[in-house]
Amino acid sequence: MTATSFGKYIIYINIYWFLAGFALLGCVAEAKPGEGLVLMSGDLSHRFMVKTMTEPNAGAGKEKHSFASKAQLNLFRTDGDREWHVSLSTLDNSHLASSLKTLSREGTRILTVRDFQFVNLYGRWSLPDGTAVRIGRTQVPFLKFKSELLWDNDIYWDGFWLEHPARGLGRKAVWHGGAFEIHRDLRFRGDRLYVMGAMGQPKAGRTQLEWRIDRFQYGIDTAGWARTTAPGYRIVNGYVAAEWPSQVRVTFDWARNFLADGPGPLHRGGDAWNATLLLGRMKRAGRFQVISQYFQAGADAVPGNFVAYEKRNNMQGILLTMKYKLAPRVDIVASHLDWRRIEAAAGGDRRYRRWEWALNHSF
C-alpha cells in the first residue's frame, strides 16, 4: 500500500467513525433497554499552579509560572458484541503537544471551538472465540498496560487494532497487533506505526501480575517530531507489574531502539526505562496515594514526542506524586519532577524541575 493510499484509507476510517459518533450521540436520549447501554462520563482538571525551573545548556536559568485546565467528555455504548467509544477533549491543536490548555501570567488567549478534538472515536467487535477488533481513533490501545516510554495520551493513533487469545501463555493472555497513523497535526498528515506482541494477567496467590512485550516499528519523518535524533526506530518494549492486596503496586517498563546511532556504553543512548512504586488506593474520601517514579531515556531510545514526561529524551530523574481524595469524585494532586541531562554531547537542557498542584473532578 502506498503512502497516499494508506493516508486516504485512514481518512475514510475517521470520516466513518466521525459519523458513527454523531449517530451514537443521537441515540443517547432514545436508547431503550433492549437497544444497548449508553454511559456518559467525563472529567475536569485544573492545574492551579505550575512552576518550572530550567537550566539551559548555556546562560542563566529560566523560571516560569502558569496554570492550565482540561475538560473531557466520554460516551460509551455497548450492544451485544459491539462497543462504541467517543471522547471529546480540549486540545492544543497547533502541534498536538498537550490536551491541557495552558495560560501564562501574560496569556490573553481565549478558548474556542477549535480547541476541542475527538481523542477517542472507535468501534470494537468481540467474536465468540475471544478475538477483538478495534477500528478508529484511540489514545492508548493497551489500556491498563500503559507504557510511560512509547506513547503519550496526547498523541493520537488512527487505524486498526486486533487481539486474539494466546493459548498456553497463561491467564488472560492475548496476541495483539495493529497498524496506525500517528499525527503531529490535525490535517491527517502523520506517520506510520506498526506494533505486534502479547500480554497477560496471571495471578500468584493473592498477587495480581501483568506482563506485556511488543515490537514497535515507526515509519516516521524524524524532522517532524521534537527530540527525534536516531536514524530510525525499531523498538522492543517490555512491561511487568505486580499488585498486592496491601495496596502496593510496582511496575517496570523498558525499551531499546535497535537502530540507535552511537548508543554509548552499555547501549545507554538506545535504552529507556521507568520504575514505579505506588502506595495506597483512593476508593473513598479521606484516602491518600503516593507514587514514586524513576525514569531514564537515552538520546536515541524513543521518539521524543512519545515520552509522557517533559523534556523527553537524554534525561533521567524522579517524579513524586501525592494524591488525596477530597470527595467520592474529587481529588487534589501535588507533584514534583526533577530531571538531569545524561550526556552533554547529545544536547538539551542541563536540568529541568517542575512543581504542580491540581484539582480533578470526574463524573
Measured between alpha carbons, how far is 352 from 354 in angstroms, rounded to an integer?
7
Other beta carbons less than 10 A from residue 265's beta carbon: 6
**Could you give the CA distance from residue 317 to residue 3 in angstroms, rounded to a whole number?**
39
Residues 91, 119: Cα–Cα separation, whole Å? 9
pLDDT exceeds cutoff 90 at 249: yes
Does the structure show a pLDDT above 90 at 236?
A: yes
CB 183 within 8 A of CB 268: no
78-136 pLDDT, tens digit per residue, is 888 899 999 888 765 443 334 444 443 334 455 566 667 787 889 999 999 999 999 99
Q: How do residues 45-83 score in pLDDT, each as one tens digit?
A: 887 778 888 888 877 888 888 777 778 888 888 888 899
Residues in the chain: 363
What's the pTM? 0.78
Q: Is 268 helix (H, G, I), strand (E, B) or coil?
A: helix
Q: What is the DSSP letter of 266?
A: G
What is residue 266's predicted lDDT score, i.e. its pLDDT?
A: 45
Contact present, 301 and 148 (Cβ < 8 Å): no
Domain assignments of the chain as residue spans, ordered by start: 3-362
- To which residue does cell 483512593 refer? 282
- CA–CA distance, 152 with 210 (Å, rounded to integer): 20
Alpha carbon distance 292, 194 (integer Å): 31
By the 8 A CB rule, do 276 and 296 touch? no
- CATH code, residues 3-362: 2.40.160.10
Q: Which pLDDT does position 184 carry in this prediction?
A: 57
For residue 362, give Cα distances in angstroms to 64, 74, 102, 245, 342: 29, 11, 20, 25, 38
Given a contact cutoff of 8 angstroms between Cβ atoms, the answer to whether 158 and 134 are in contact is no
Q: How far apart are CA 198 and CA 212, in angstroms?
A: 6
Q: Is the model's pLDDT at 341 over the cut of 90?
A: no
Is the per-residue pLDDT at 275 higher than 60? yes
Residue 324 has a pLDDT of 95
Check if the beta carbon of residue 59 is closer than 8 Å to that of residue 22: no
Q: Are 14 and 158 in contact (CB under 8 A)?
A: yes
- Residue 310: its pLDDT value, please? 58
Coil, strand or helix at 46: strand
CA angle 77, 80, 81 (to 5 degrees): 95
